[in-house]
A and B are shown apart, each in its own frame.
Chain A
Amino acid sequence: MAIPTTHFVILAALLFAVGAAGVLLRRSGISILLGIEIMLNAANLSLAAFARQHGQLDGQVFVFFVMAVAAAEVVVGLALLVAIFRRIGSIDVDRLNALRW
């Protein structure tokens, strides 16, 4: 008996929620990036689920691409984090508030 797509989607939703919470609630740059990764994974999961539902592999191709993009994004994000750390000596994003009104 195949697992209904809905289950996967619910799981994806929950994971997305967790990831979002991580992004919004943590002050450390690393934690925020981790939350983003969780969200990406949740999205990938639902993509794969729907791919199976429709019977096409296109969704999986999309997942492949998302993974590659996520890798690139992590690289750049961490590089930014390192650069910021060198500048202000901390990875607390609340310290980055120069662009305000």
Chain B
Amino acid sequence: MLSLLWLVLVLPLAGAVALLAGAQRFDHRTTSAVGVGSIGATLLLSLGILAQYAGRHGETVVQSLWRWMAAGDLTITFALRLDPLSAVMLFFVTFVGFVIHVYSVGYMHSEGPRAYARYFAYLNLFMFAMLTLVLGANLVVLFVGWEGVGLCSYLLIGFYFEKDWCAAAGKKAFIVNRIGDFGFLLAIFMAYKVFGTVDFSGMWAQLAAEPSRYAPWVTPIALLLFVGAIGKSAQLPLYVWLPDAMAGPTPVSALIHAATMVTAGVYMVARCSPLFSQSPTALLVVAAVGGLTAVFAATIGLAQNDIKKVLAYSTVSQLGYMFLGAGAGAFGAAIFHVFTHAFFKACLFLGSGSVIHACSGEQDIRKMGGLAKKLPVTYWTFVVATLALAGIPPLAGFFSKDEILGKVFAAGSADLGGFGRVYLGLWVLGVAGAFLTAFYMFRLVHLTFHGQFRGTREQEHHLHESPASMVWPLRILAVGSAVVGFAGIGTALTFGRDLNWFEHFLHPATPAVELGHHVSLGIEWLLIGLSVAVAVGGILLARRFYLGPRALEIPNAIAGRFPRAFDLVANKYYVDEAYDRVVVKPLRSVAWFSWKGVDTVGIDGPINAAAWFTEITGDLLRFIQTGNVRNYSLLILGGALAAMAWLLL
């Protein structure tokens, strides 16, 4: 079964091709069968492969498919790599992907057959690209998947391309990502120059053998790789595309912008952990960017009124946590959070889709309320996922978030890389972020599901629970959010007995950075208690602010007292506007000048002039054609004499 690893890529690709080719002719049933079936088959195949892999004890399996480029010293093979890290990614990408495909059948039901087929084609293509990304055995194959997911993201964000703002959102995502990709490419070039290969096994082997030789290069390469991650995983300062990406259909937001694509940056950092481990500076940068983003995005989430935007900023914030963990050397913890986050964030997004569907397309939470009774399944799955996100035990998010915070504190107290104080400061930010997360998520829950319905009569009539194809995925993901956390129970919780299966499984692929000294068990329990308390505090505060007869009184009062601050936050700190002034407008001017000045005048000018000269010459020369035979014979004589002169003289 392991030898069929390549089939995992081919099945979604075949689905995409079939749907693109048959978009004109397929009806909904055929499209669903092909689109969902291909991913279902991929899931079964992946499970079979993973079952077989389980007996391999963390060994790395590489399957070379073909020799792609061979130029001089450079040889790049299209090869797939199955090791613990890619195994984890393979599992949840195919599982969550399949669940979301099923959900899409219900959600996209009202689209015409051609748009429906287009949707599933792009979604299948996305699965192909994402799987290429996680299974790639070298930086180039990873980059192929990286670019592929970026493309599919653009196609799917701009799915409703007839609407200008949707198309613009797609462009924005692609362009901002490109900036990150540039850094990534530079990293690949540098890696090739330094290591002579871009293959992961090759690079890490060389790095382990002669660390001092590569020491000066490690930090630049790691930082450039991280630039790529900043773009793809929406961290400061390249996060601006993710909130806009909510213009796409909600299942797309769930799959691409919550569970899978945006976590590619974290995966890439974990994949290159041997590199990052050698560079304390790079680790610090990763942690700092992650921590700052986590809090920054959380503050913006406090004042958003669109249900999907709140979730989008929440995603940015949680991605920040993942990088915070990775930056503390705890790569396993970061991937664990990726894993748990996939479940509860996807559940939240799909739940929001269910809500939007029920409210006939309304996305503003100020116009919702009291939906708990009308949408029971959506309600309880949403609450479970929210609790998981907030980090309430024993749900999944608690285990993963807690592990990250614990590891960051440990890094701080062990003075990792000499930056102990910074890590401790980042830990404080992490805890603050946890408070804000719990708070704004429960604000969302209260405003959406509790209280009185604040929409129109029309909408109220149509409130209904979603069909089975949408509800079952919610159930499955909610259950997942509750239980998957137990795969990675932190050592502290089990009183020193190391039952952290997840960390063990990942260890061969992504060993954590060894910290000098360990935090005592007592302090660990204290930290755990602190983060839970903070989360509960956030929940209670949100309850006070947004639930019950006096709901919204206090928040409105605060907004009234600090209008400027409120404005700043509600308008996302005007970051987009700033980018527009500083980056977009100058670029537009340069582009305009390149067009009018350089291209039209500088390049077209001489060419048109040359053409004009040819034309003029022709216009003048035609007078030689007098039609008079004797003129011609004179010319012939003249020519003959000239030739003779040339020959004789």
Contact = CB atoms under 8 A, between A and B. Distances in A.
Interface of A: 20, 23-24, 27, 32, 93-94, 96-101
Residue of B622, B629, B633 with most chain A CB atoms under a 10 A cut-off: B629
A28 to B, nearest CB: 11
B456 interface: no
Contacts of B628: 94, 97, 100
Q: Is the interface of B mostly helix, strand, loop or mixed?
A: helix
Contact of A23 (B625, B626, B627, B633): B633
A100 B637 CA distance: 20
Interface in B589-648: 622-623, 625-630, 633-634, 637
Contact of B625 (A24, A32, A93, A99): A99
B615 to A, nearest CB: 14
B108 to A, nearest CB: 67
Contacts of B625: 99-101
Contact of A98 (B623, B627, B634, B637): B627
Contacts of A27: 630
Given A20-B637, A24-B637, A101-B622, A93 B630 contact: yes
A24 B634 contact: yes
Contacts of A32: 629, 633
A24 B626 contact: no
26 contacts: A23-B633, A23-B637, A24-B630, A24-B633, A24-B634, A24-B637, A27-B630, A32-B629, A93-B629, A93-B630, A94-B628, A94-B630, A96-B627, A97-B626, A97-B627, A97-B628, A97-B629, A98-B627, A99-B625, A99-B627, A100-B625, A100-B626, A100-B627, A101-B622, A101-B625, A101-B627
A98 B629 CA distance: 10
Contacts of A94: 628-630
Contacts of A93: 629-630
Closest 3 CB pairs of A and B: A100-B627, A97-B627, A101-B622
Given A93-B630, A97-B628, A101-B627, 7 more contacts: A24-B637, A32-B633, A94-B628, A98-B627, A99-B627, A100-B626, A101-B626
Interface of B: 622-623, 625-630, 633-634, 637
Nearest to A20: B637
Contacts of A20: 637
A55 to B, nearest CB: 22
A19 B628 CA distance: 19
Nearest to A100: B627
A23 B629 CA distance: 10
A99 B622 CA distance: 11
A20 B634 CA distance: 9
Nearest to B629: A93
A41 to B, nearest CB: 16
B629 to A, nearest CB: 4
A27 B630 CA distance: 8
Nearest to B637: A20
A18 to B, nearest CB: 13
A94 B637 CA distance: 18
A24 B632 CA distance: 9
Contacts of B623: 101
Contacts of A23: 633, 637
A36 B630 CA distance: 13
Contacts of A97: 626-629
A27 B634 CA distance: 13
A11 B622 CA distance: 38
A97 B629 CA distance: 7
Contacts of A99: 625, 627
Contacts of B626: 97, 100-101
B642 to A, nearest CB: 14
A94 B633 CA distance: 12
Contacts of B637: 20, 23-24
B648 to A, nearest CB: 12
Contacts of B630: 24, 27, 93-94
A7 to B, nearest CB: 19
A88 to B, nearest CB: 13
Nearest to A101: B622
B466 to A, nearest CB: 79
A23 B638 CA distance: 13
Contacts of A96: 627, 629
Nearest to A25: B630
Nearest to A95: B629
B540 to A, nearest CB: 96
A21 B627 CA distance: 20
A80 to B, nearest CB: 12
Contacts of B622: 101
A101 B619 CA distance: 10
User: Which of B622, B633, B634 has the most C-beta atoms of chain A within 10 angstroms of its own C-beta?
Assistant: B633
A20 B623 CA distance: 24
B624 to A, nearest CB: 8
A20 B630 CA distance: 11
A32 B627 CA distance: 17
